[in-house]
Amino acid sequence: MLHSNLPEPQLLKVLLEPLLDDFQDWFSRAQSLLRTEVMPFLEVADQQALLSRVDAALNDVVATQSLFRATEGQVGVDTHVLMQWHTLLMECWQVAHHYRLSKSNGCHT
């Protein structure tokens, strides 16, 4: 088991801090893509709704990071919340993948 001898707060820091950094990075990338590019395979309202969900998730991640750092790793994140963020990221990755495919194929459908 990875870092099994660490006390719980240190284990949280070792595991949660980089995970939160990754969520922030990926949500920022998705936010940038959704703000600057038109997804030809999505309705405008659907793209805007996805962007709104990404904006909210990114705000939540940044707030969580601030609390985590302010308490020196004494707070965690509910697993349900992590799974929601993960599910949203998977959706964003699928949209980005579809977008790259449509660009490489010259499709605008």
The answer to whether residue 17 sits within a structural domain is yes
Q: What's the pLDDT score for residue 76?
A: 86
Q: What is the pTM of this model?
A: 0.87
Per the document, the length of the chain is: 109
The answer to whether residue 30 sits within a structural domain is yes
Give the range of the structural domain holding residue 35, as residue numbers without chain letter: 13-104
Q: What's the pLDDT score for residue 10?
A: 82
- pLDDT tens, per residue, the chain with 109 residues: 344 555 677 888 889 999 999 999 999 999 999 999 999 999 999 999 999 999 999 999 999 999 999 998 888 899 999 999 999 999 999 999 999 999 888 755 4
Cα pseudo-dihedral 75, 79, 80, 82, rounded to 10: 80
Q: What is the pLDDT of residues 64-94, one digit of tens each?
A: 999 999 998 888 899 999 999 999 999 999 9
Distance between CA 8 and CA 50 in Å, rounded? Answer: 35
The answer to whether residue 8 sits within a structural domain is no
User: Phi, psi (5° rounding) for residue 21?
Assistant: -60, -40
Split into its structural domains, the chain has a count of 1
